[in-house]
Amino acid sequence: MNHDKIINIAVIAHVDAGKSTLVDAFLNQSGVFRANQEVVDCVMDSNSLERERGITIYSKNCSIRYKDYKINIVDTPGHSDFSSEVERVIRTVDTVILLVDSIEGPMPQTRFVLQKSLEQGLKPILVINKIDKPNHRAEEVVDMTFDLFVDLNANDEQLDFPILYGIGKQGIMQYDLDTPSDNIEPLLETIVKQVGEYPKEDDAPLQMQISALGYDNFIGRLGIGRVYKGTVRDGQTIQISDNDGKLRTGRIAKLMTYEGLKQVPIEEVSSGNIAVIAGITDISIGETVGEMGKVEPMEPITIEDPTLSMNFLVNNSPFAGKSGKFVTTRHIKDRLEKELEVNVGLKVEAMDTTDGYKVSGRGELHLSILIENMRREGYELGVSKPEVIMHRDENGKLVEPVERVIITLPEQYSGAAIANLNMRKGMMQSMEPENGYVRIEYLCTTRGLLGFRSELITDSRGEATLVRRIEGYTEYVGELPRRANGALIAQEPGTTMAYALNNLEDRGILFVPPATEVYEGMIIGMNSRREDMTVNACKNKKLTNTRASGSDDAVKLTPPKVFSLEEALEFIEDDELVEVTPDAIRLRKRILNEGDRRRANKM
């Protein structure tokens, strides 16, 4: 029997506060890496998209050893779109390290993750990070964070939180600003003092709750969770209570736990520790695992409802199948079912037609990450405009999700941002000027924010930062303005010509360069006017025997606007789709033929 003293902690914070970097420091301090091992930054962000974007998408587990303690650490996402990841892990930990940037202070997502922690009765440890910045305001940020605790109805015990100051990137934590340190030991000592070891109940009947899911290509679905009581053993026959209290029997085919970054096989896992079990093909989030006839069901884990949906359709464009390996409805169905095994914030419904599925999630980023992963795996899709999910409240009134938005941008661009949010029926909460910049806080519906990010970047010449998180629901605010400009639509299939594109530049903004293969109904630009315009982008200059001086010089075109996946999804209207393939993101009309579109519009 392994008699480690067990402590489970989660690192929670707003996006970019330094969570993954702090976990790197923990791992380095505890000697997880060999002396000659090459170590990458943010080692927990193992997904390629996490590395590219510099964000954490999936919560992950690791463990370190400190003195005679085994400390299990969960690195959680900071984006509100992945809040379902945070909700689950908070239940499994003994304390949380609340990381706050020494300049930014508490941000909207800080409020969300802290609220969840306080509701679970946890006593957080506050770490003011990035104190190496010359313009930090650490003491002011401590006061702001204390006010946030009060605002969230923290009890007296929770308000008496320990405070440390650190430089996560350098692996430095210190008890106060004037006492320098060269390692992370002050934080480890604070964790041990704050929490102490998990009370051992190894001889009690087994009680384990599944808080996360994983998948292994060789052993299938994995259930990850904390053993609250008793001991779980490899090969053990167990009873599982689902979220409705129904019991079923299963057998653990393989048992693992975390050592450093790895899942390692083990004979048994005792109370307090994190266990990974394989062999239960239908194991799910929130289910309680126990001994035969002795299951003591735990309170189910509730996940907040999705706020946004999109239709994932079979790609039926003329270019379908040119670069993707998985192009049928069956392929899409199988991939979405696999995603549901580990992505608990997702919901998938069959559509009335047989050409796709309605997929709902916690926001544009949540869904676009899934689409981007599918694209990289060789899938082709046609994706519809994001649609906000409405609800009826207890009085029968229609309500829609509302978000808190914080924008920081240069003062000279603030007027355009304010006007844009007012037009979208947002309500200003505060406005604070600071060193030539303005920090604006708004409440605005999710529906009103669709397409706002790309407009803000354009209006601010790329200098604005936007942070948003779902605040709750508000009464339906009525019709909102739509995209002000129509589309430039390719009239015929072919290859775009510089001569034709040069003539079209006066009509609007182009999305494609010369020598691009296009098809009828593909969107190649944005019209400067409100209506759509069908254009010939493949027309070349007629050759003649005479040459006018200067007229045949090389055409100089403005570089086309290139859309990211999120920008493309924000841009399209109801009658348009984003065509997603492994090698391209294209915009198109749902109905490709111009005559068919006209007839459909008359109906």
Backbone φ, ψ for residue 467 (5° rounding): -125, 135
Give the N- to C-terminal CA distance of the chain in Å, as an integer.
73
Q: Is 352 annotated as a binding residue?
A: no
83 is in an annotated binding site: no
Report whether 129 belongs to an annotated binding site: yes
Q: Binding residue per annotation — 534?
A: no
294 is in an annotated binding site: no
Token readout for 443 is 């409440």
Question: Torsion angle of alpha carbons 440, 145, 94, 127, nearest 10°?
Answer: 100
3-class DSSP assignment, residue 517 = strand
- 132 in a labelled binding site: yes
8 Å CB contact between 526 and 509: yes
Give me 505's structure tokens.
Answer: 């530049």
Work out the number of other CB atoms within 10 angstroms of the CB of residue 486: 18
131 annotated ligand-binding residue: yes
| 532 labelled ligand-binding | no
Q: Which two tokens stand for residue 35?
A: 């002396």
Q: Do residues 532 and 587 make contact, with C-beta atoms less than 8 angstroms apart? A: no
CA separation (Å) from 215 to 152, 277, 367? 36, 11, 20
Residue 18 gets the label, from left (phi > 0), alpha (psi -120 to 50) or beta, of: left
List the strands of the sheet with 69-75, edge to edge: 60-66, 69-75, 5-13, 95-101, 125-129, 163-167, 172-174
Judge whether 88 and 210 are in contact, CB under 8 Å. no
Binding site as annotated, residues for GTP = 16-21, 129-132
Binding site as annotated, residues = 16-21, 129-132
